[in-house]
Structure 1
Amino acid sequence: MSETIRIANDDLVVTVATLGAETQSLDTSDGRSWLWSGDPAFWAGRAPILFPIVGKAANDMIEIDGVRMPMKQHGFARRARFSVAEKTDSLCRMELGPSDETRAAYPFDFLLSITHAVEGRSLKVTARVENHDKVAMPFGFGFHPAFCWPMPGMTKGSVHHVALENRAEPPLVRLRDGLIDLTPLPSPFSEGLLALDHDYFIDDAMIFPEGAGDQLTLSAENGPSLAFTFENLPNLALWTKPGAPYICIEPWHGMAEAHGKGSDILNRPSTKILPPGEAVEFSFTVAVEG
């Protein structure tokens, strides 16, 4: 059974499962819950960690150095049991290293650390990827947290917005048969503002490969908001199942296999290549406002 770790301060209570190092809840001290509950009637996920790929590979196979290897959608970290490396009242750090199972799909000596830390009304989740191998290590990484839509205290049908801090209108791309179609489509943002509508998700996720910036706000009209800051995560996706009561705010460094580009991991858009002995960090912060 997966263990659940609780961290808290005077403003927030957060729980994290050792299975997948996945956030299980984000509650304010007034009893409001902001993170999706994982109701399997819609989607059992809550905030999966995506590693060593983001998105799908054709036939669930990737190619590394000419060798085809099995890799399910979003990689294996979300299904793996992490060990608890550090725990305080307001912080927990979990780690995942290589095993016979991971090497069968991804033949590298890595260490993936996921740290959850609360400060005031903010939760920061940081991922650190270390390459302990003797060769360069290609991978993708992403966060996939789902938040309540409608937000706490709001009714179904109330207007919710995603607002980009940079006021940009980033081009949209879509998935086709689970793979990225890199043909750019008109942006649904107008001066950085998007009114959420379930019809946007009939064709699956909305993906913005570049230009969305590193800050955005999810807000309910005349209601509360969540402010996000991203570090080292240039890609953004928004996703829900049409009619489901959640919205995923997904910052990534890596995307699904692209049509026409083949299964080589190096050809996946935004793949990160980490030299031997080096480490890289990715993080997002969400602050509860209102």
Structure 2
Amino acid sequence: MAEWITIASDHLSAAINPVGAELSSLKDADGRELMTDANPAFWGGRAPLLFPVVGQPSHDTIRIDGREYPMKKHGFARRSLFDLTDHTADNATFTLSDSDETRTHYPFAFQLEVTFHIDAATLHIDVTIHNPGNAPLPASFGFHPAFAWPLPYGRAREDHRTIFVADEPDALKILAADGTISPGDRPSPLENRTLRLADDLFADDALIWSNVRSDRVTYGASSGPQLDIAFPDTPKLGIWTKPGAHFVCVEPWHGIADPEGYTGEYRDKPGVFEIAPGGAKRIGMSVMLVP
């Protein structure tokens, strides 16, 4: 088990597990935990990074130039050991590069660089996907942080909600039984721009906005400290928990699960982007504790 790497300011402290470069703890100045309790009865994850796929590939397989490669849900980065390449009191950078093992699943040269930086009461997470190869690099990427529900400020669980900054008129996607995206839609549960959190929202798994207009949401109770979660670079959003769990995930995605029954090329599926040879793509999010 890898030792967690810590960073801090006067307002926040964070701990990152080099396995997956996974944000595993985020605490306020008084040491109150803002992340999931990771109760394995519900879900033991904390904030996995989703690469090179987001969600479920059809039949646990992707296809590159007609050849099939095994690929599990959310990709392999979340189970890979990253190198710690920079560490100061308020900053830590982790890097994962392609290897013989990754190329059995994803036959490309890549470098995935993840920087965590705390500035006062804000945690910034900046991901850069580099393409050192000589051909376009297809990829998807997503964040999956699980925040404490309820937050540790004495408000009831049922008093918590997520407020979007823009109108979200679109219906939501539906997950099929195998975790891929069903052809149908489900009505949006938003009341104006507010999602009032309740277990029954998640009886059929995640809420999925495939074209989210907001670039930030506020999560918390109607009074007391809240989290301002910004995601300026991702066009999709998932919100998920398991009924009864003490977490809720706010998941900015630049990708999405395969359409149900998909048998096409990986690079042609929804949510996949390409990075030019020698190029890079940056995707960031931030979490600010608002008093």
TM-score norm. by structure 2 comes to 0.96
* Alignment map for 1:41-52 (pairs within 5 Å): 41-52=41-52
1:62 matched to which residue of 2?
Answer: 62
1:286 matched to which residue of 2?
Answer: 287
- Between the aligned partners of 1:182 and 1:209, the Cα distance in structure 2 is 13
1:277 matched to which residue of 2?
Answer: 278
Corresponding letter in the other structure for 2:270 = P
Does residue 105 of the first structure (1) align with residue 102 of the second (2)? no
Instruction: Show CA shifts across 1:120-160 (max 9, x none).
Output: 10101111000111111111100000001111123554311
* Alignment map for 1:111-260 (pairs within 5 Å): 111-176=111-176, 177-260=178-261
- Between the aligned partners of 1:106 and 1:66, the Cα distance in structure 2 is 13
- Between the aligned partners of 1:19 and 1:51, the Cα distance in structure 2 is 14
Q: Which moved more, 1:70-79 or 1:165-174?
A: 165-174
Measure how far apart 1:164 and its partner are.
0.6
2:268 matched to which residue of 1?
Answer: 267
Q: Which moved more, 1:66-75 or 1:214-223?
A: 214-223
Q: Assess if the C-alpha contact under 8 Å between 2:216 and 2:230 holds in 1.
A: yes
Corresponding letter in the other structure for 2:229 = F
- Between the aligned partners of 2:105 and 2:71, the Cα distance in structure 1 is 6
Corresponding letter in the other structure for 2:190 = F
Measure how far apart 1:212 and its partner are.
3.6
- Between the aligned partners of 1:59 and 1:222, the Cα distance in structure 2 is 45
Corresponding letter in the other structure for 1:58 = S
SS of the aligned residue for 1:282 comes to strand
Instruction: Show CA shifts across 1:26-62 (max 9, x none).
Output: 0011121101132212111000000000001122111
Q: Which moved more, 1:254-263 or 1:198-207?
A: 254-263
SS of the aligned residue for 1:158 comes to helix
Instruction: Show CA shifts across 1:199-230 (max 9, x none).
Output: 01110111000034211111212232100111
Q: Which runs of 5+ in 2 are unaligned?
A: none
Q: Give % identity.
A: 39
TM-score norm. by structure 1 comes to 0.96
Measure how far apart 1:289 and its partner are.
1.1
1:35 matched to which residue of 2?
Answer: 35
Q: Assess if the C-alpha contact under 8 Å between 1:142 and 1:251 holds in 2.
A: yes
SS of the aligned residue for 1:266 comes to helix
Q: Which moved more, 1:177-186 or 1:230-239?
A: 177-186
Corresponding letter in the other structure for 2:256 = M
Runs of 4+ in 1 over 6 A off after TM superposition: none
Q: Assess if the C-alpha contact under 8 Å between 1:85 and 1:95 holds in 2.
A: yes
- Between the aligned partners of 2:153 and 2:251, the Cα distance in structure 1 is 23
Instruction: Show CA shifts across 1:73-106 (max 9, x none).
Output: 1000000000011111100000000111000000
Q: Assess if the C-alpha contact under 8 Å between 1:254 and 1:268 holds in 2.
A: no
Measure how far apart 1:272 and its partner are.
1.1
Number of matched pairs = 290
